[in-house]
Amino acid sequence: MSHKAVALKEEGNKYFQDGDYKEAESLYSQAIQKDSTNPKIFTNRAMARLKLQSWDACVDDCIKAIELDHGSMKGYYYLAQAQLALNHPNEAFSSALTAYERCIETFDNSATAVSNLVLQAKKQKWEARERERIRGRSELLRELEDGLMKRKKEDLQRLKFKTLDFSEEAEEKADIELECRKKIEELRNIFAVADPKNMQRREVPDYLIDNISFTVMHDPVVTKTGNSYDRATVMEHLKRSHTDPLTREPLHMQDLRPNLALRQACEQFLTENGWAVDW
Amino acid sequence: MFASKRLGKELTKIHQTLPPGISLVSASDFKEWQMDIKVLDANPLYLDQTYRLRFRFSNNYPIEAPEVTFITLSSPSRTVPTHPHIYSNGIICLDLLGTQGWSPVQNVESVCMSIQSMLTGNTKNERPPGNEEFVARNTQRPRDIRFVYEDATV
């Protein structure tokens, strides 16, 4: 049975490469009917379903593949992508992190792509928090504005009980309107100024930036020169040349040490400044 | 991989500030840029001259070195500077541009500065040995040529 499954999978791969994801998915499904214990067929179908944007079905395949093989990097990688598309940032973040760990263990070529996915998930988490924050803030603002409007109405009501001639009444009305408008304007200004996002310049400190990719680091490692790089990008360089990027002295994968303090600094910065992922 | 993101950031920085004598001519995409460089001191070999460098980037930049050569133009007038490490077809023999000497922490600005200082320090008004033959025969791309770096002082 299983050799038939493998043949069907191979055929599916051909369709996949030609961009016919629908047909590829159907061949992978037939392969799974013959052999439902091969995690690779599930991850292949998951990839086809990613292309077809069938996110939920992709999630199912990934979970199945991970059940069959806990070490499945691709299972977690595709799972994270689908979860990101479904706007489940917390789940996507944890799946992407697991995929990243698997990549590092096996020096997988996808390390930079997976590392980038971790950052994207982080950004989505930040965006969700930002939306909450802005919503909360504008609710408070609206409440205060409503209060001022109510007060204005009351003031206008009170005018009617005063004995004023026509022009005096018009004058007082205008004053009340003007004062209310001024207060609302000032209130809005205060809220705008108090919003740190309007004040802060969107800049990433140099020490959080990987000197190879020029992006914020997610897993910084330090070389013996004391310089830190993102693990995924320096790995790309070391595949080509076993040299320290700065001094060109010999440098090997096993010489790299994690820079935990810097990692925390990067994490904290991204927690507060999710936009920096795309910076 | 991350070539376009990284080049985009280099470009932002280049638009803000560049060292004296180096200027950006064109960077309409992330495949090819042109830069002008001038030698700033009174070196008589390059006095009042501006030279045009062409950078070509692969998708693997900065893991792979860019291809950097001098180009010749009639308007504005740009020639290939005379230097014992620069062939008359514009190919530059500089270790940091080769596969062995390149490092991903280098960038367009630092390459321009290295080439600028290579010109500044030169006193020999000559081409590399075997220039005519090399120019006539070479069909390799610059980064694939295995130069022998005989003299680290020039």
Q: Is B9 on the interface with A (CB under 8 A)?
A: yes
Give SS3 for B45.
coil
Q: Is B67 on the interface with A (CB under 8 A)?
A: no
Residues of B whose CB is below 8 A from A248: 101, 103
Taking alpha carbons only, the member of A255, A263, A265, A204 closest to residue A225 is A255
The pLDDT, as a whole number, for residue B143 is 64
Q: What is the predicted ipTM?
A: 0.74
Q: In the 8-state DSSP scheme, what is residue B9?
A: H
The pLDDT, as a whole number, for residue A96 is 95
Which of B37, B39, B91, B93 is catalytic? The answer is B93
Q: What is the pLDDT of residues B55-81, one digit of tens each?
A: 999 999 999 999 999 999 998 999 999
**Domain B3-128 belongs to what architecture?**
Roll (3.10)
The pLDDT, as a whole number, for residue A131 is 80
Asked if pLDDT for residue B50 goes beyond 90, the answer is: yes
Partner-chain residue, chosen from A233, A236, A248, that has the shortest CB–CB distance to B103 = A248
Domain boundaries, chain A: 2-86, 130-199, 206-278
**Smallest Cα distance from A276 to chain B, Å:** 13
Residue of B nearest to A235 (CA): B63
**Smallest Cα distance from A246 to chain B, Å:** 7
Cross-chain Cβ contact B63/A243 below 8 Å: no
Q: What is the pLDDT of residues B81-90, one digit of tens each?
A: 999 999 999 9
Tokens representing residue A247 in the block: 């001094």
Q: Is B110 on the interface with A (CB under 8 A)?
A: no
Mean pLDDT for B115-143 is 86
CA distance A221 to A227: 8
**Smallest Cα distance from B109 to chain A, Å:** 14
Residues of B whose CB is below 8 A from A236: 1, 63
Residue of B nearest to A110 (CA): B1
Kindly report the CATH class assigned to A2-86: mainly alpha
CA distance B50 to B31: 23
Cross-chain Cβ contact A215/B103 below 8 Å: no
**Smallest Cα distance from B20 to chain A, Å:** 23
Residue of B nearest to A247 (CA): B103
Residue of B nearest to A114 (CA): B1
pLDDT in tens, chain A (279 residues): 678 999 999 999 999 999 999 999 999 999 999 999 999 999 999 999 999 999 999 999 999 999 999 999 999 999 999 999 999 999 999 999 999 999 998 888 889 999 999 999 999 998 888 888 777 777 888 889 899 999 999 998 888 887 778 888 888 888 999 999 999 888 888 887 777 665 555 678 889 999 999 889 999 999 988 999 999 999 999 988 899 999 889 999 999 999 999 999 999 999 888 888 877
Cross-chain Cβ contact A212/B101 below 8 Å: no
- B148 pLDDT band (50/70/90 cuts)? low
Could you confirm whether domain A206-278 is CATH 3.30.40.10?
A: yes
The pLDDT, as a whole number, for residue A140 is 85
Q: Is B10 on the interface with A (CB under 8 A)?
A: yes
3-state SS, chain A, equals: CHHHHHHHHHHHHHHHHCCCHHHHHHHHHHHHHHCCCCHHHHHHHHHHHHHCCCHHHHHHHHHHHHHHCCCCHHHHHHHHHHHHHCCCHHHHHHHHHHHHHHHHHHCCCCHHHHHHHHHHHHHHHHHHHHHHHHHHHHHHHHHHHHHHHHHHHHHHHHHCCCCCCHHHHHHHHHHHHHHHHHHHHHHHHHHHHHCHHHHCCCCCCHHHECCCCCCECCCEEECCCCCEEEHHHHHHHHHHCCECCCCCCECCHHHCEECHHHHHHHHHHHHHCHHHHHC
The pLDDT, as a whole number, for residue A101 is 93
- Asked if B112 is an active-site residue, the reply is no
Cβ contacts from A onto B, under 8 A: 39
